[in-house]
Amino acid sequence: MYEYATGTRGDLTMALSLKGRSLLTLADYTPEEIRLLLDTAREYKRLKYAGIPHRIHEGKNIALLFEKTSTRTRTAFTVAANELGIAPEYLDKDDIQLGKKETVEDTAKVLGHMFDGIEFRGFSHQTVQELAQHAGVPVWNGLTDTFHPTQILADFLTVEEHIGPLHGKKFVFVGDGRNNMANSLMIGAAKMGLDFRILAPESLHPDPKLVALAQSFAADSRAKITITSDFDEALAGADIVYTDVWVSMGEEDKFAERIALLKPYQVNAELLKRTGNPAVKFMHCLPAFHDALTITGKQIQQEYGLDAMEVTDEVFRSSASIVFDQAENRMHTIKAVIALTL
């Protein structure tokens, strides 16, 4: 039940096993394998709500490596591991010597001899690739500057729970079209057959090479990929409007530049109305600058006169918003990734 499922592609029926696989980007996974992860996550969620234990990996250990701080990724991996019977060990940037006193290769080999799996959340995507190359155990990308695959699994599970099957859904990402969320959503949408649109200033459009890769996946899934700065083209009939912070970790010196570029792209009630869909849903991977109640929010308000950045508080707290269901589903989908790959 947890390791195998049946997938069909054309006339070929095959048993799927993800045992021993790393998850660095959804580009490495077939639509059938992504479907297996989503369906397994849904089953684990059912078991949790029913109070049925599922400690299928009792006695195993995983390492959680964090160069970047985290709320959802850290807690999701920790809770998921515990509920599978696994002991997680948290190691932050002060606990490990990645690339400083010890190479990534050496660190990977050491940890691979002690742990059954490794999660990495940090800056360079090359680091997680090197870990996977040398560890000899599954490595899971908890976020890099390029991709955030576990977030996309949570997003897709949430979409299915609220508005039904993924195929053909009109999914709009608004904001910085070059960031790891835009990249990852585009690849996931191309794999799973969505009508995916990025609405961003031209200077923040995604890497053309990544767009070409997504288009190659879309040819198989019948997905549509649109990159535009035209609000009407992007928003028409949207089922989901998704945004992310305008400034990612490590880019704090770019606040003024990004605010100037992206202020017209703020997700507010008027932007949602432009979809023409009264049932449109709003999504965000969090954290969100939707008010001035945080230290950073107050600084932005004082310096730039903004009470919110990428999304207004009105939209964030509205009935259209499903952001906290997304957050919960991080744990269920990460649990599926761990369970199926160990």
126 is catalytic: no
Measured CA distances, 126 to 53, 120, 208 (Å): 37, 11, 20
The residue with tokens 């530049």 is 257
Q: Which of 57, 74, 330, 332 is catalytic?
A: 330
Q: In what order do the strands lie in the sheet with 195-199?
A: 224-228, 195-199, 170-174, 240-243, 281-284
Q: Which of 244, 290, 326, 332 is catalytic?
A: 244
In sequence order, the β-bridge partners of residue 92 are 66
Q: Which of 74, 148, 197, 284 is catalytic?
A: 148
Six-digit token pair at 232? 């009407």
155 is catalytic: no
β-pairing, 61-66 vs 12-17, is unpaired
Q: Give yes or no for a contact between 140 and 22, defined as CB atoms under 8 angstroms apart.
A: yes
Phi, psi angle pair for 96, to nearest 5°? -120, 160
Measured CA distances, 31 to 19, 43, 315, 326, 341 (Å): 17, 18, 32, 21, 16
At what angle are helices 255-262 and 295-304 packed, to 10 degrees?
70
244 is catalytic: yes
266 is catalytic: no
CA dihedral 326, 332, 154, 213 (to 10 degrees): 170
230 is catalytic: no
Q: Which of 129, 151, 266, 326 is catalytic?
A: 151
Q: Which of 121, 134, 197, 290 is catalytic?
A: 121
151 is catalytic: yes
Q: Which of 125, 285, 290, 326 is catalytic?
A: 285
Cα gap 198→225, rounded to integer Å: 8
Amino acid identity of residue 42, one-letter, is R
Kindly list the catalytic residues.
121, 148, 151, 244, 285, 330
